[in-house]
Each structure stands twice: as C-alpha cells, then as structure tokens.
Amino acid sequence: MKDNLIDLGARILMGLIFLLAGLNKIADYEGTQGYMEMFNVPGMLLPLVILVEVVGALSLILGIKARWGAIALAVFTILAGALFHFDLGDQNEVNHLLKNIAIVGGLLLVVLHGTRDWSLGRKLGWD
C-alpha cells in the first residue's frame, strides 16, 4: 500500500506542474505566443505545446499510458529548458534549467518502472 501511495503521489506532483502550465497557456494564449516568439519559437506551435502538457499530465496522473506520457513530457521539458532557460550567465535561468533537468529525472523513473496498482491504466489494462 505504501508503494502505491508514493507512486500515485509522485505522479500527481509531477503531473500538476504540466497540467497547470498547460491550462495557464490556454488562459493567456496571446501572451504565451508572444513569449515563445521572443525566443524565435513559432507561436503556431503553441497548440502542440498545450496538447503535450495537458495530455501528458493527465496520462501521468491517471496512469493511462504513463510511460508514453512521461517520455513526451521529458522530451518537451528538455527542449523547453534548452530553448527558454539556457542562459548560464543568469542564475535564475540556471535554476530553471536545473529544475527542468530534475523533473526529467523523475519522468525517466516513470518510463523505467511504469505505474503501481493505483493507476487507472493498470485497472483498465491500458498501462
């Protein structure tokens, strides 16, 4: 039971950052698009970004195809860190980059181990 609780808690905690970020991007669509374009990232990619964040987060939280969701979020997080936070002369940006790297580490553990019993994907056979 303890392992199931830790697994579920970890998946919720990792997923929440992406779910909230995706929903915030929807709420401030134009602002987010402008921010992306400041870094020479085409704003037309924003729907894909939102899709990856929201669907990946739900996949992780619910445990439905969580390994695939974790892979998508890990790739996204590495790219976001490289594109938006790779400024080694700015300690704040270095901290954001290191946070991204740490999150990727947690996501890779989901890729490696999958989910435990408290996973909707396990219950439905969709893990």
**What pTM, to 2 d.p., does this model score?**
0.95
pLDDT of res. 39: 97
Helices (H), the chain: 2-27, 29-38, 46-62, 66-84, 91-113, 120-124
Count how many domains the chain has.
1
**pLDDT per residue over 39-65, tens digit each?**
999 999 999 999 999 999 999 999 999
- Domain range for 103 is 2-124
Q: What would the mean pLDDT of 30-46 be, rounded to a whole number?
A: 98
pLDDT band for 29, please (50, 70, 90 cuts). Answer: very high
Whole-number Å distance between alpha carbons of 120 and 19: 18
Q: What would the mean pLDDT of 83-101 be, rounded to a whole number?
A: 97
pLDDT at 126 over 90: no
